Amino acid sequence: MLQTFASSISALLDARAEGHSLPAGLYTREDVFEADLDVFFRQHWICIGVECDVPEPGDATVVDIGKTSLILLRDDDGEIRVMHNVCRHRGARLLDAGKTIVSKLVCPYHTWTYELTGELSYAPHMGKGFDKECRSLRQVACKSIGGLIYICLSDDPPQDIARLEEVMAERLAPYDIRNAKVAHECDVIEQGNWKLTIENNRECYHCSANHPELCVSFVDLDFGFDPDALSPEDRAQAEEHFALYAERTRQWEAEGYPSCAVEQLADCATNFRTQRLIIAGAGESQTPDATAASSKLLGTMTRKDLGDTHLWGHNSWNHFMGDHAVVSFVIPLSADRTLVRTKWLVHKDAVEGVDYDLDKLTNVWTATTDQDSELVARSHAGVADPAYVPGPYSPFSETNLDKFATWYIDRMRAHGY
């Protein structure tokens, strides 16, 4: 049944207090969910996969976003294409959910047949005057940025994706994600609103209490900004991390590996941040002992000591290390359910059991993703409780959440709410 609400979405946006989490309705209401899907998942660029999801011509996979179903495929010329999974005859779905290999796209209903470019090549019984040329599958704006696939469902995609491309094409080149292999992937459906999933990912305030596996290798640089709140031991460690981070960043930059933080978080449509992070302990990778999980390094990498190129946007977060990468993205399913899809990438020639151990490779982020899923469910249950009142973000550890909430409100406004 359709819910009705006493206040408008605009009134909810007005009610958001600076420095505080969002009013409950922005996390829980169905009308807000529909607006979010339209604004943030149709009118903005979103990450929906990696080139190596479809390594060979004819490889195809279906990605659903709300009622929209997309076919991501590699055509016969090796180009990535994304098109709507809607037949141009009477609209039937062409492909079912999941991965497949196709030489052409044949509609199961009346066998209209499309080339991998989307062109209609066969449509029986349509008469002499029928023009196939104007019945190609509808294409979607798509960009591969260092092998990460971004799409925008709008006819007028935001231009400021150019900054993300400019920054990341160079940073991601040595990892050659285009030619990597998906060693493992996992879908988790979180029982919470997508904005809680993103907020949770933008802070590590919760890490020490919740992520023992991740904390072996992950260095939270935000905590150090509040040295007075730390015990003398934690303070000494934070100072050590900061000194190491400064030193490594200087070194890496001098060696030609762009490392410094770049962000585009305000007054923009395309929201992202990247930074080359240091890895704690053995310093190589996000594994149980911080040593590399794969002996074959990614792409043209020859070193394991180049840290963790961290990139996040409004629906994704990624870690690129010498031996492997972890790519995660988010697709909202309803106001209180969110799909988190995670992929672990290794060199395309790396062989499981020979070059890498799958458990070592996936251990940290499998555990972290499960732990985060519980936190998001817990968080959603609380914000849906009538007793919830928006609370203050930490000015040290949660500044990126405040930036996200502010960007969210700005973008809703920009789209007429």
Return residues touching ligand FES (CB under 6 A): 87, 89-92, 107, 109-110, 112
Q: Order of strands, edge to edge, in the sheet holding 59-65?
A: 80-84, 68-74, 59-65, 98-101
Of the pair 44, 319, the CB lying nearest ligand 3BY is at 319
Q: Which stretch of DSSP H or E encloses residue 9?
A: helix 9-15
Cα–Cα distance, 132 to 119 (Å, whole number): 8
Q: Return the bridge partners of 74, or none.
A: 80
**Shortest Å distance, C-beta 88 to ligand FES:** 8
Amino acid at 292: A
**Shortest Å distance, C-beta 70 to ligand 3BY:** 26
Contact between residue 362 and residue 164 where contact means Cβ atoms under 8 Å apart:
no
Of the pair 284, 372, the CB lying nearest Fe ion is at 372
Q: Order of strands, edge to edge, in the sheet holding 141-145?
A: 46-50, 148-152, 141-145
201 binds ligand 3BY (CB under 6 A): yes
Q: Which stretch of DSSP H or E encloses residue 142?
A: strand 141-145
Count of CB atoms situated within 10 Å of the CB of 58: 15
29 secondary structure, DSSP code: -
- Find the residue with minimal CB distance to Fe ion: 372
Of the pair 119, 165, the CB lying nearest ligand FES is at 119
Of the pair 103, 295, the CB lying nearest ligand FES is at 103
**Partner from ligand 3BY, ligand FES, Fe ion, none contacting 379, C-beta within 5 to 8 A by type:** none
Task: Report in angstroms the alpha-carbon separations of 414 from 22, 40, 264.
Answer: 18, 11, 17
One symbol per residue from 209 to 248: x for binding ligand 3BY (CB under 6 A), - otherwise; what is it?
--x------x------------------------------
Q: Which stretch of DSSP H or E encloses residue 276?
A: strand 272-277
372 binds Fe ion (CB under 5 A): yes
**Partner from ligand 3BY, Fe ion, ligand FES, none contacting 218, C-beta within 5 to 8 A by type:** ligand 3BY
Of the pair 35, 188, the CB lying nearest ligand 3BY is at 188
Of the pair 43, 379, the CB lying nearest Fe ion is at 379
Cα–Cα distance, 386 to 174 (Å, whole number): 50
Cα–Cα distance, 276 to 279 (Å, whole number): 10
**Shortest Å distance, C-beta 400 to ligand 3BY:** 8
**Shortest Å distance, C-beta 89 to ligand FES:** 3
What's the per-residue H, E or C state across 148-192? EEEEECCCCCCCCHHHHHHHHHHHHHHHCHHHEEEEEEEEEEECC
Of the pair 41, 312, the CB lying nearest ligand 3BY is at 312
**Shortest Å distance, C-beta 206 to Fe ion:** 6
- Find the residue with minimal CB distance to ligand 3BY: 204
Of the pair 209, 243, the CB lying nearest Fe ion is at 209
**Partner from ligand FES, Fe ion, ligand 3BY, none contacting 109, C-beta within 5 to 8 A by type:** ligand FES
Of the pair 21, 61, the CB lying nearest ligand 3BY is at 21
Cα–Cα distance, 280 to 76 (Å, whole number): 44
Tokens in use for 217? 């290798």
Residue 329: which of 341, 347, 312, 345 has the closest Cα?
341
Cα–Cα distance, 100 to 343 (Å, whole number): 18
**Partner from Fe ion, ligand 3BY, ligand FES, none contacting 204, C-beta within 5 to 8 A by type:** ligand 3BY
Cα–Cα distance, 195 to 27 (Å, whole number): 7
**Partner from ligand FES, ligand 3BY, Fe ion, none contacting 378, C-beta within 5 to 8 A by type:** none
What's the per-residue H, E or C state across 311-331? EEECCEEEEECCCCEEEEEEE
318 binds ligand 3BY (CB under 6 A): no
Q: Which of positions 28-87 make contact with ligand 3BY (CB under 6 A)? A: none
Positions in the binding site for ligand 3BY (CB under 6 A): 200-201, 204, 207, 211, 218, 368, 372
